[in-house]
Structure 1
Amino acid sequence: MYDFGEVLYQLPRDAAELARVEALIATHGKAAFSRDPFIGGHITGSAFVLSPDRRAVLMTHHAKLDRWLQLGGHCDGICDPRFVALKEAYEESGLSRIDLILQDILDIDIHAIPARKAEPEHLHYDLRYLMQASDFDVKISHESKELQWVSLNELERLTSSQSVLRMRDKVLRFIG
């Protein structure tokens, strides 16, 4: 019913994560793509955006979460996380051209979002896609404290997140 693509360079954990995404959709249908935290979680779409030379990735210092992450966001009822990842990449980066490198999923990460205001703790079922910018010209949106192109080989200077580093490792396998 939903075409997210296959998972690139599947790790043993990827099949289990994909099964959890499919179970969420089987249980909640289109509501799995909403922002409703009361069903336990929802699907989000993220973009791992490479520089034109494929040597760096664009990272955002997320304003609300106060940490360095890839670009991305909520589906808000759109049942196409690949499209959402691309849309969010444009909105959060100000880039004028971003190309999807693969139709397939680069990575899946299911992680807890802490309770906030009236929302309970819930899960983000994040489907992540590999993209490439046509230039380096970025413009910070209200969702970011900062944007930075970071060499793939130096990503650890901004983040120790295994989730982000796992995507980098998959990309390095892909681009050689």
Structure 2
Amino acid sequence: MSLHEETALVLKGYEGQPELREVYLEHLAAHPDGMYKPCTAGHVTASALVIDPERERVLLTLHRKLGMWLQMGGHCEDGDATPEEAALREAREESGIAHGLTLLPGGPVRLDRHPIPAPCNWHLDVQYAALAPAGAEAEISEESLDLRWFPYAEVADVADTSVVRLLEATLERLAAR
């Protein structure tokens, strides 16, 4: 099955945000290339909020191009079989934590559609949360200006609303476990 088909299946199984989920599914139905950066109508991206093993902090990257503190994430690539794989790959690449990151069970934590500069127009981000292994040491990547662990209570002071909502949804998922 293609990444396009796998993503549609994941989204159909996602029970949250029904209106936004439908926007994503309509995008994929209308755009066979809707998973990848060249799609000028927008494209699906995948990200993961990395949580420390003690479940007290999250790892954020100061994005080089945007100058904003964000979760790890980015564009899907040809080698990604599922959105989960894309999110984990991006989390590993941007966090420097090469081994042991595991996604929280239950599929995506939330969806976030945000505008980006032309020619692409939109990112349709499928957002996950990942637990870092004990002893994990983060290492800054070329895509970042900085990489830092933030206590949950400090995230709203440094990050935008999208990251705050992702953290809130992640904490709800963790509490339900």
TM-score by length of 1: 0.87
Corresponding position of 2:151? 151
* In structure 2, C-alpha distance between the alignment counterparts of 1:92 and 1:121, rounded to whole Å: 22
Residue 31 of structure 2 aligns with an amino acid whose one-letter code is H
Corresponding position of 2:69? 68
Q: Can you give the 5+ residue segments of structure 2 that lack an aligned partner in the other structure?
A: none
Decide whether aligned partners of structure 1 residues 126 and 113 sit closer, same or farther in structure 2, where only a CA change above 3 A counts: same
Spell out the pairing of 1:106-121 with structure 2 (5 A cutoff). 106-115=109-118, 120-121=119-120
* In structure 2, C-alpha distance between the alignment counterparts of 1:132 and 1:125, rounded to whole Å: 23
Q: Can you give the 5+ residue segments of structure 1 that lack an aligned partner in the other structure?
A: none
Corresponding position of 1:89? 91
Contact between 1:49 and 1:130, CA under 8 Å: does it hold in 2?
A: yes
Corresponding position of 1:129? 128
Contact between 2:47 and 2:73, CA under 8 Å: does it hold in 1?
A: yes
Deviates more, 1:133-142 or 1:61-70: 133-142
* In structure 1, C-alpha distance between the alignment counterparts of 2:34 and 2:105, rounded to whole Å: 24
Corresponding position of 1:164? 163
Residues 97-126 of structure 1: CA deviation (Å, up to 9, x unaligned): 2011124110100100123xxxx2510000
Residue 171 of structure 1 aligns with an amino acid whose one-letter code is T
Residue 110 of structure 2 aligns with an amino acid whose one-letter code is D
Specify the SS of the correspondent of 2:126: strand
Corresponding position of 1:24? 27
Corresponding position of 2:82? 80
* In structure 2, C-alpha distance between the alignment counterparts of 1:143 and 1:103, rounded to whole Å: 29
Q: Is 1:4 aligned with 2:10?
A: yes
TM-score by length of 2: 0.86
Corresponding position of 2:38? 36
